[in-house]
Amino acid sequence: MLGGSRAQESPYFVTYTHHMEEPGSLDVETWSTLGVPRSGQRSFFAPYVEFEYGVTGRWTSELYLEGQSTAGADATFTGWRWENRFRPCAREHKINPVLYLEYEGINEASRIEKEIVGNAGASAESVAELSQTHAHELETKLILSSTVHDWNVAENFIIEKNLSHQEGIEFGYSLGSYRPLASLASGTNCRWCRENFTVGGELYGGLGSTNGFGLHDTAHYLAPVVAWQISDNATVRFSSAFGLTRGSYPVLLRFGYSYEIRGFGSKVASLFRGKP
């Protein structure tokens, strides 16, 4: 049987919690970021696809493929990312750490804004020119996450290094909190029950780099988030992130849809073994 569900799916778009993908499960997710511009800027639409797989109970691996389209320019493929999260502690603690390591083979036209690091700076180059500038980046995060009654509280600290160019090491952060609208599960199968909704907020932004650490000329966003489990194995999310500084886009509208295939690993492995 394919399917299953991920109750109480995190509504976050940027912040990570300590909850890992279940072993052998594959999450196929599509995400989009729509940038609403200031005057003089161009709006952009940046979709990406994510394949998230639970390798073990303490190791989750994800592959991203991303693109973007800027108003007045052609759509372009902006690269791929390979992300791994490791949970060192087997048990739940008051604060649960997770180590995050990601390799990014992207180009400078990338606009998915999956994390905000370093300083803000709009480029005057066209999308076509930006897409010709490739970047190999390494990103690490320290994820700290807690469960406080029905609330999740998470803090992410980000360090990113562009391996392709002589740039400093960039820093960023993300903070988030969410909770389900209902603590008890009803006995009926319902889609509009409060228990199927989680709501919360995120705050994220850049912290400069080794060339200049701090809040000067950085982008920051405050984002209400909501997730709705629309079926036993599908969830939609929405967020409207409001820019807090001049270096931010005024609004980033984000939309996500995820579909979980449980037991994916077992089924693929059985194909190789010839078992039913």
Partner 1 sequence: MTHSTSWRSTLLALLITLVLSCLILAENTSYESDPGWKAPANAAARANPLAGRSPAAAGGRKLFLRECVECHGQDARGLEKKHSADLLLPAVQAQSDGSLFWKITNGNPDRGMPSFSKLPELQRWQLVLYIRTLKFPGVGHE
Number of residues forming the site for partner 1 (CB under 8 A): 47
Nearest to 66 by CA among 51, 50, 53: 50
First-last CA distance in the chain? 12
x/- contact string, 173-212, with partner 1 (CB under 8 A)?
------xx--xxxxxxx-----x-----------------
**Nearest distance from residue 180's CB to partner 1, in Å?**
6
Among 85, 87, 111, 254, binds partner 1 (CB under 8 A): 87
Strand locations in the chain (E): 26-36, 44-56, 59-70, 76-86, 96-107, 134-148, 151-162, 169-180, 197-209, 212-213, 220-231, 234-243, 251-261
Stretch that binds partner 1, among 3-11, 70-78, 118-126, 166-174 (CB under 8 A): 3-11
Site for partner 1 in 102-121 (CB under 8 A): none
Stretch that binds partner 1, among 70-78, 148-156, 202-210, 247-255 (CB under 8 A): 148-156
Strands 220-231 and 44-56: unpaired
Establish if 224 lies at the interface with partner 1 (CB under 8 A).
no
Say if residues 162 and 136 touch (Cβ distance below 8 Å): yes
Residue 148 bridge partners (DSSP) = 151
- Contact residues toward partner 1 (CB under 8 A) are 1, 4-8, 10, 17, 19-20, 22-24, 53-58, 61, 63, 82, 87, 90-92, 147, 149-150, 152, 179-180, 183-189, 195, 232, 262-263, 265-266, 268-269
